[in-house]
Structure 1
Amino acid sequence: MAEKPGFGQVMTLGRLALRGAARFFRPRPLGPEAGMAFEQAMSALLADPAVASHVRDARLVALGPEEDWQSLGIAVTPGDEVTVLAAGGFWASRPLDLGFGARIGLWLRAGGGAIFKTPANASTVKVAFGGPLEIVAKPPGEWADEQGAFDPAYPRGGVAGEIGACVIVWKEGALAGLEAMSRAGDYEGLVARALDDARNPVPAPEGWRYLWRLGEGRIFRDAHANGDHSICCHTSGDVGILQYPVDFPLTENTRLRWRWKADRLPCDLPEDIQPTHDYLSIAVEFDNGQDLTYMWSSSLAEGTIFRCPLPFWDKVETHWVLRSNPADLGKWLSEEQPVRSDYAKAVGAPPARIVKVWLIAVSVFQRREGLCEYAGIELVDGDRVLKIA
């Protein structure tokens, strides 16, 4: 049985409702508009002879929030480059101004291989598996497996709207085709953004990969300045978890060390309820499937510990507010946490090993911007030091 919200959470919901009411006459868009205008613009671009000469196949589809996987009638081979230009989005609550655009919920798969998400609503992916190409629009939630089965424990209902998608399979790569398309026209900047994405890709930092459940992103990147390395995080209306695999024993002496600088937080309300659960953090995953995440908070007191308020994640994730003093924003801060004793306090009987280190960025709920930077991440146990970033 779900716990009843406390007084502080009720106050947060009240503040959120007031904001939603203030935006009633000037709602924030979820992205470019889907519908007839989008379809006509995409059809005209695809029909341009200079564009058509680069296109092997293309489809226009309209997707609802509760539909199953839809065949695109296109067969792809490993290595094919597929560009997706998408518009529209889904609303979870218009009164609370809660919704998400196509960059969050558009997924593809081919030939029974692993699912993959477009990093943005105008971006290109390289197909890893061959076979029939399928697409689905899925609100943030949980998969049953990496092949795209839906988990019945987390139903996909409760949202409304439409996502329109133009899916293009190029003959010889996306860059030349998008350059031709940009000369032919655009629709609300989608082509320009896809071209910029193709020209300036943002690979995941070396040794790290995005959690498959949330898909690839453009949130984290390696940075080098004055001989120093860091990982920069820029999140805005999206979500991503970056993971680094390790195999490290969890003992009384195990420490997680890192430095970070949070310049902007993606939420200015307490983050312990679903509609405001936007935050920046570093986390440790253990061999029992649990994770403990040390977060920056805009409003919760330092030392606050709470279970994640999101479905599925409430079974596996615990949050520890490590920083919340606004005077520390924009400053490099050095941290060292005794992971085993922290786990015992926050979760319970400690497991045996650490299996991953995570960086987390969530800004999908309030659709605000978050900026952060990490450096000097390492696991330490006596003389043993595992440098991660």
Structure 2
Amino acid sequence: MLAAALLCGCSAIGPTHPVPPGTPVAQTPWATAGARYGSEWAHFKLPGKRGVDFRYVRNEGRDAVAATSVSAASMLRKPVRIEAHDLGSVRFSWKVPELIAQADLALRDLADSPVRIVLAFEGDRSRFSMRDAMTAELAYTLTGETMPYATLMYVWCNVRPPGTVIRSPRTDRIRKLVVESGSANLNRWLDYERDIRADYMQAFGEPPGALVGIAIMTDSDNTRTRTRAWYGPARLVPSAAFVPSAH
């Protein structure tokens, strides 16, 4: 459980499940948008956890991925590679019908969320604290994957106001930035564009390294509840100085 919680920010935990051509999820722009930045989206499951049901739907005229979690935790992830000087913004949208009443993103045993946008970054791992170095070593032993230097999550919190940074109770290398709070905007589509560099600086107090992964994650395993949400396509927008390739 420790490794699963630590690495939920875009490091593969357990087997990778690519989205096969012709399946419902593969029909959505999720599978093809931003091909400049890496491979396609894939479902990543956590060992010992029930997987979330992700599927392509149309919701209020939008292409979306519907996520349904029944005491489950997993993610759709896309590996990318964007150097720090090329970082721009991330555009995403979500629709949440109901919050998880018992959830608290700051508490180890209640840290569930109907929606998360997850970004993983490289960095100078020699700066890890002893605790985080030991955590990274344990995670690698258990999963065979290198823990990201830093993971930034955009989250919807039950009570904390937008702009709040929540540090993971399990590792200082995962920080959650609240972009939506409370119940006022439930059951409606919400659209965001976030400055990746500025948000990373706010969360971690230092410039970001290269972006190496983006994911969506829905989980209700800690609270043992049922939750659902819809995600619009998550798109990475290059900085003004970055000139996309012709491919």
TM range (shorter): 0.5 to 0.7
Tell me the distance in 2 between the aligned counterparts of 1:317 and 1:262: 23
Tell me the distance in 1 between the aligned counterparts of 2:185 and 2:241: 31
Counterpart of 1:341 in 2: which secondary structure? helix
Tell me the distance in 1 between the aligned counterparts of 2:221 and 2:12: 22
The 5 Å alignment of 1:78-97 reads none
Matched with 1:307 is: 167
Shift of 1:383: 7.6
Tell me the distance in 1 between the aligned counterparts of 2:78 and 2:203: 22
> Which structure has more RCO (C-alpha within 8 Å, separation ≥ 6)?
2
Counterpart of 2:163 in 1: which secondary structure? coil
Match of 1:208 among 33, 41, 51: 41
Counterpart of 2:3 in 1: which secondary structure? coil
Shift of 1:257: 0.9
Based on CA coordinates, which of the two structures has the bigger radius of gyration? 1
Alpha-carbon distance change, 385 to 241 in structure 1, aligned in 2, over 3 angstroms: farther
Tell me the distance in 2 between the aligned counterparts of 1:316 and 1:210: 23
TM-score by length of 2: 0.66
Counterpart of 1:364 in 2: which secondary structure? coil
Cα RMSD for the two superposed structures: 3.2
Matched, 1:343 2:200: yes
Shift of 1:285: 0.9
| 1:209 and 1:242 in contact (8 A); partners too | yes
Alpha-carbon distance change, 231 to 250 in structure 1, aligned in 2, over 3 angstroms: farther
Alpha-carbon distance change, 268 to 212 in structure 1, aligned in 2, over 3 angstroms: closer
User: As a proportion of its length, which structure holds more strand?
Assistant: 1
The 5 Å alignment of 1:260-299 reads 260-279=94-113, 280-288=115-123, 289=148, 290-299=150-159
In the alignment, structure 2 segments of 5+ residues that lack a partner are 15-22, 32-39, 124-147
Counterpart of 2:191 in 1: which secondary structure? strand
Matched with 1:222 is: 56
| 2:95 and 2:231 in contact (8 A); partners too | yes
Counterpart of 2:109 in 1: which secondary structure? helix
Q: Deviations over 1:320-358 (max 9, x none)?
A: 111013110111111111111111111132233211111
Shift of 1:384: 5.9
Q: Match for 1:285: what amino acid?
A: A
Tell me the distance in 1 between the aligned counterparts of 2:226 and 2:13: 31
Shift of 1:235: 1.2
Matched with 1:243 is: 77
Alpha-carbon distance change, 371 to 293 in structure 1, aligned in 2, over 3 angstroms: same
Counterpart of 1:340 in 2: which secondary structure? helix
Tell me the distance in 2 between the aligned counterparts of 1:226 and 1:301: 28
Match of 2:225 among 368, 374, 379: 368
| 2:52 and 2:73 in contact (8 A); partners too | no
Alpha-carbon distance change, 147 to 372 in structure 1, aligned in 2, over 3 angstroms: closer
Identical amino acids, percent of aligned pairs: 23
Q: Match for 1:271: what amino acid?
A: L
Alpha-carbon distance change, 225 to 335 in structure 1, aligned in 2, over 3 angstroms: closer
Counterpart of 1:211 in 2: which secondary structure? strand
The 5 Å alignment of 1:144-159 reads none
Shift of 1:226: 7.5
Counterpart of 2:205 in 1: which secondary structure? coil
Alpha-carbon distance change, 240 to 249 in structure 1, aligned in 2, over 3 angstroms: same
